Structure 1
Amino acid sequence: MDITPNTETGGLVQVVIHSIGTLHPDALDLINRHDGLYYNVGDGRFRNPHADPRMRELTGLDEPVRDHVLKTPGVMPEVEKIAESAKAILFSYANRRRKVVHVTVACKGGRHRSVAIAESVAEYLRTDEIGVEIEHHHVQRPVVQK
């Protein structure tokens, strides 16, 4: 896939981050469609805002949820690992201007952890002037009842 214009910055998109919820029927299709890096942050290692009724209906785009997720022990090293892995692949291409790296960040519902972590990874990459776009595939879907 060729690099496309980044609508946010006017620069080139070099990394596309997809946040998804693995409990949605189209999750597997999204994972297969976006060949690239895959990280499951809904595997029980990190606190789930879904467990708190005050945050359940919010998303990782809302400050209380974002703070809750990013202050969970182990999350920031995971953010750094994801971003550095994307950079390693991006910089390994012989012609950086011809490839886009896709990164999928998944949790169970695709509204809380994956969204907050995807946003944080994007911020990390943008500090290195890497063009990033984010696609939150399930953030607006109803809360998954577990």
Structure 2
Amino acid sequence: MLAEGEGQQQQVELCGGAMLAEGGGRQQRVELCGEAMLAEGEGQQQQEELCGGEMLAEREGQQQVELRGGAMLAEGEGQQQQVELRGGAMLAEGEGQQVELCGGAMLAEGEGQQVELCGGEMLAEGEGQQQWSCVGERC
């Protein structure tokens, strides 16, 4: 899964249980192996381990990495980058850009437009227009 934002390239990749996120100007790596999580920031390396099901790490530039019961959240500086993993679903949120994967479905949201895929159905939402494709009660 690759998402390109304004002036930055954000790549979110899910391989087994490993997730990698790259931001512009800085490299942010979040890896989930069993119950251990490793996060690398610019000029610093931080390793955290998940015990009980909740972990929260804050770094310079307001970068937050949180893991609770299979869910992971990462926030970047300047822009808000959210990477969440829950039950095989992944969502990445940038500054006006959102990429979400729910139940094997992928949705991407751009600056002023939203593309969402839920249960094999895709919905796209534009700045002055809204387009919906609903599946069950979720959308």
Q: What TM-score results when the alignment is normalised by the length of structure 1?
A: 0.26
Q: What TM-score results when the alignment is normalised by the length of structure 2?
A: 0.27
Greater relative contact order, per chain length (Cα 8 Å cut-off, separation 6+): 1
The structure with the largest strand share of the pair is 2
